[in-house]
Amino acid sequence: MFNHLLVASLALLSAPVNAGAALTAMETRWLQAASPVLAYSQRIKLPIDIVVQPVAGPNDVPLAMGFRDGRCKLVLSMRGNPDAESVLNAVPEADRSVLMEAMAAHEVAHCWRYAQGAWHALPQGFIDTGKKHAANDELVAESTSMRDDRREEGFADLVALAWTQGRHPQRYAQVYAWLAALREKQPVAGGTHDTRAWVRLAHDASIFKNTATPFEGASGAWRQGLLGEQ
C-alpha cells in the first residue's frame, strides 16, 4: 500500500522523494493533504524535492523547507517525533487536512522567495534605517538574522492565508483562528516566529482579493507589516 502511494506521489509531483523503503501512514496523510499545494508548485516550476528523514532530530518540526544546490527541500521529520502533530492536537480529525495544506503553502512560500532570489531581501522601496547595537558583533548578527527570518515567516504565513482564501474561502475563518492562536503563543517577543504584526492584518480575508497568485496576494499585507515592524 505505502509503496503504491510513494509511486503515486512521484507521478503527481514529478519530484524526487528521498525516503527509506516506504512512507508511513502519517507521512502519507501529510503529503496527501499537501498535494494541491505541491501540484501547484510543480505547475509554476518551483524546484522542490521531497525528503523524508529516517529519524527526526530532537528539535525538528514535522514539515520544513531547506535549500541546497539551487533546489528547495521539503523535509518531513515525523519518524520518531512524538510532537509531529502536536500543533493539531486540539483540532478535530476531520478539520486537520486544511491546516496541513495551509502549512504546506507556508513552506512553498519559502521556496518561492528563494527561487525569486529574494530571500532575506526587502521589497523595492524599502530600506533598513535603524542600526542595531549590542555588546558585541555576534549579538548584532544574531539579532539581524532573527529579524530577517521573522520577515520571511511573516510572508509565508500570509501566503498560507492567501492560499486558503483562494482555495477554501469557506474555511478561512477556521484556518485564520488556528494560525492566529498559534502565533500568539510566543515565548519571546520578536522571535523568529513572532509574525503577529502580519497575521493580525489578515483578520479580514478581503485583503487578499483580486490577486493572481497567493504570493501576490501576500505581498501587499507583507509590506504593511514591514511598515509597522518594531
Q: Are residues 127 and 221 in the same domain?
A: yes
- 93, part of any domain: no
Q: Which residue has the cell 507521512?
A: 27
Is residue 9 predicted with pLDDT exceeding 50? no
C-alpha cell at 207: 485583503
Name the amino acid, one letter, at 196: R
pTM of the model: 0.88
Instruction: Please state, for a pLDDT cut of 90, what percent of the chain lies above it.
Output: 73
Name the amino acid, one letter, at 183: R
Q: Are residues 124 and 203 in the same domain?
A: yes
Q: Are residues 73 and 8 in the same domain?
A: yes
Q: Is 227 left (phi over 0), alpha (psi -120 to 50) or beta?
A: alpha
C-alpha cell at 218: 501576500
Span 174-189, pLDDT tens digits: 999 999 999 999 887 8
C-alpha cell at 112: 518561492
- 95, part of any domain: no
Q: Is 4 helix (H, G, I), strand (E, B) or coil?
A: helix
- CA–CA distance, 117 with 111 (Å, rounded to integer): 10
pLDDT of amino acid 180: 97
Q: Are residues 75 and 148 in the same domain?
A: no
- CA–CA distance, 38 with 12 (Å, rounded to integer): 9
Span 97-138, pLDDT tens digits: 999 999 999 999 999 999 999 999 999 888 776 665 556 767
Q: Are residues 35 and 83 in the same domain?
A: yes
Question: Domain of 63?
Answer: 2-87
Q: Are residues 15 and 83 in the same domain?
A: yes
Q: Are residues 73 and 134 in the same domain?
A: no
Q: Which residue has the higher pLDDT, 201 or 16?
A: 201
Q: Are residues 75 and 136 in the same domain?
A: no
User: Which domain-ending residue is among 66, 87, 108?
Assistant: 87
User: Which domain-ending residue is among 41, 70, 87?
Assistant: 87
Cβ–Cβ under 8 Å, residues 71 and 49: yes
Cβ–Cβ under 8 Å, residues 130 and 230: no
C-alpha cell at 35: 498535494
- 64, part of any domain: yes
| Structural domain total, the chain | 2
